[in-house]
Amino acid sequence: MDIDIVRINCRSIREDSIIYQYRQEALALRYKVFCEEMKVVPSNDSKIIDDEFDYHSSTVIFLARVEGKAVGTLRLIRYSEENGLPLINSIEGLEERLERAIDFRRRLYGGRSFSEAGRLVLLRDYRKNTVSNRNRLISLTMMSDYISYCRDYGVTDVIGIANPKLLSFYERIGLRALFNIRDKMTGIPSPVIHSEVEKIYTCLRRLKAIIIVKSFIDNITRYFVRWVR
């Protein structure tokens, strides 16, 4: 299975460009998952979910495509003093809690660079764990491209808010829960997560290798069973 990851840099996208079309696919995919499948966000006439950060130069959207179909998306936002981060901007007192938990300001003043990971969605058929290791590989491939971007552009830390059902996935790739808050978009009590980019990079490499080997073994086993029959 070929998984293509499209990087959508959100600065000054022309409406007649293919990148604009990809961004619209990602925004519509969020709506499909959050509003129609999970029903955790109210519907709207535009049939997309977006905010001001989807049009900022500090934002990159990752779109996963399988056989030409958009199946997943993830958003990266780089912290700046001017724009902050959606998570910090939307929840009063969160920056102070981050300061107590991970020395947030000290890290910034020490030259570290933060990004916020968010809006991670997969279509329902790609969230199931019944199709070999395919679905896990899509999420890992998106996160791997996210971390590759961070390493290329000097981002050292990742924070975000996790769907509680996905916390075990985030923990497997090196992120840890700091404390719980109520997600502004879904209203669900959810953990704020954090890790350093290099730790996530190491965990992702190890986990992807394990899944690829398991997929290879599964394919060989299925082929052998068919041959015996």
Query: Would you state the pLDDT for residue 131?
Result: 46
- Whether the pLDDT of residue 223 is over 80: the answer is no
**Quick one: which H or E segment has residue 145?**
helix 134-152
Lowest mean pLDDT among 103-107, 110-114, 166-170, 217-221: 217-221
- Whether the pLDDT of residue 228 is over 70: the answer is no
Q: Strand locations in the chain, DSSP E? A: 3-9, 59-66, 69-78, 114-122, 157-161, 176-182, 189-196
Query: Would you state the pLDDT for residue 226?
Result: 57
Looking at per-residue pLDDT, the higher value among 220 and 48 belongs to 48
Quote the percentage of the chain above a pLDDT of 70.
89
- ∠ CA 135-131-225, nearest 5°, is 140
Quote the percentage of the chain above a pLDDT of 90.
73
25-30 own/partner pairs: CB under 8 Å, 24+ apart? 25/63, 25/70, 25/73, 26/61, 26/63, 26/70, 26/73, 27/54, 29/63, 29/70, 29/71, 29/72, 29/73, 29/121, 29/123, 30/73, 30/119, 30/121
Query: Would you state the pLDDT for residue 130?
Result: 46
pLDDT-derived band at 12 (thresholds 50, 70, 90) equals confident
pTM over 0.85: yes
Q: How far is CA 58 from CA 9, 89, 90, in A?
A: 8, 15, 17
Domains along the chain with CATH numbers: 3-228 (3.40.630.30)
pLDDT-derived band at 135 (thresholds 50, 70, 90) equals confident
- Nearby residues of 45 by Cβ (< 8 Å), 6 or more positions away: none
Kindly report, residue by residue over 192-206, the tens digit of the pLDDT: 999 999 999 999 999
Collapse the DSSP code of 187 into the 3-class scheme (helix H, G, I; strand E, B; otherwise coil) and give the result: coil
